[in-house]
Structure 1
Amino acid sequence: MAMYAYKDAARTVKILARDAQKQDKSNRYYCPNHKCDAHMFIRNIEGVSASYFGAIHSHGHINNCPHGASNRFNPNDYDEDTFEFDNALLALTMPGMSQTKKELPGEHGSGNAKASPPRTIRQIYSMCKAHDCSDTYNGVKIGKMLLDNRSVYMYPKGVFGWRIIEAKCKRPHFYNSIKKEISLIASTAGEEYTFILKFESEKLFKEIKNVIFLNRECFTVVAGQWSSSGTFNVFCTTFLSKKQLAIIN
């Protein structure tokens, strides 16, 4: 699902789902992913105000398109008004009982009447990817929650405070066993940032290192409170819980 799409194949005219009118239901829109030729249409659920763009089965999304089936965010399954980004990320850093799907209504688009805000890193990440980076969710700009290849231009002076970052392993070596550190890198044309995960627990360090190594060709998504490392364009956070990490194929 996507909360925005384009009116033209060149992707020059953007339209947000909330701005699409009922008369637009028969209009075909274009996936934000330039490599994907999915035929997207505005969707509404009867009795629910939130709308979104979805593709038809005969002209669906390409594999692993971030706006396709792999993104399970449905705005009608979550309570936007109670979402507080900083508090949500703070909760992810707190070790404790892992959150299960039973404890997280809306994970599979069940339309739960008692909707809660996005809580897990995957839910928050999917919400951010579904929206345009210049759009907002409960008053907070998407690009100020998630740093990815769309929003990196919003960080000309660096990455500070609570953020989710989408990155990949730094090559050729992404970890330092002596310092218990893992290095990730996010880059786009003309800009490159390094993110260092600092661990207090050797057991957690080894576990996360192995997870990232086995998925080193995938995106690593990390939630944290970032600060300067003292080196230009290098930022660090303390990694305290597995809930801070998601691997995106």
Structure 2
Amino acid sequence: MSVPRRPPALLTAPLLVLALLLTACSSAASPDPAPTSTAPAQGAAGPQSDAASVRRASPAAEPAPSPAEIPGLGPLTRKQIPEQARQVFVVTGEDVDSNQSSAVLYSREDPDEEWAAAAGPWKAHNGMEGWTDHHVAGDLRSPSGVYSLTDAGGRLPDPGALLPYDEHPRFAVDGEGFFGEPLEGSFDYVVAINYNRTEGVSPLDRTRPLGLGRGGGIWIHVDHGGPTQGCVSIPEEHMEELLRTLDPAMDPVIVMGDAESLGR
């Protein structure tokens, strides 16, 4: 608030910090056990007859319960999560106008398994003015919704990311945040949120499929101790953990928004 990479358009040095500031943040119980088998017991004289089995069998067993759902997500939100996604990073805002949120990474190895918390909960920040379901450039709100996560990068060397990682000096940033906190290091590690961007390219790429007016450059990045322009931020050690955990083979997505909206 990254396929071979197309070199991003060069910015002149005087415009670098301004471009990053304005565009890169613009704009966790197992189910009940399966029912006990109702097959008849084997006695000393051998198995009971089929007729005896029918008479003594208990009523038809209930189907095994469905896998546990991710806490806090209602049916409308769950419906937006792609069926193939096996990693879901849930960022839940305190309310629609709050810039305070929490983040938990859920995963499962197979679509038939229950979801489990893989990391978190972590404290997080979002846009200064909260959340919106229609983000526009400069509104200082984070776009709520479900978005894929395919590309990463940062000013610092790759910490072992599984997603394609673009190390580049253009991720350097300075200046102050909304409360006077230093922004330096905020983009040392980032994961691009695929809101109004092209997948498979560096987070620095400025292509905006929905147009410039809908904002862009919405990232998960290092927390600087205050709200963002529209991105999601978490502490640096958790950013490193996230980068080492998000696996493109598991089709990771982010589910983000205020608690009330996500619960629908």
| Same fold at TM > 0.5 | no
* TM-score w.r.t. length of structure 2: 0.24
* TM-score w.r.t. length of structure 1: 0.25
Structure having the higher helix fraction is 1
Structure having the higher strand fraction is 1
Structure possessing the higher relative contact order (Cα contacts under 8 Å, 6 or more residues apart): 2
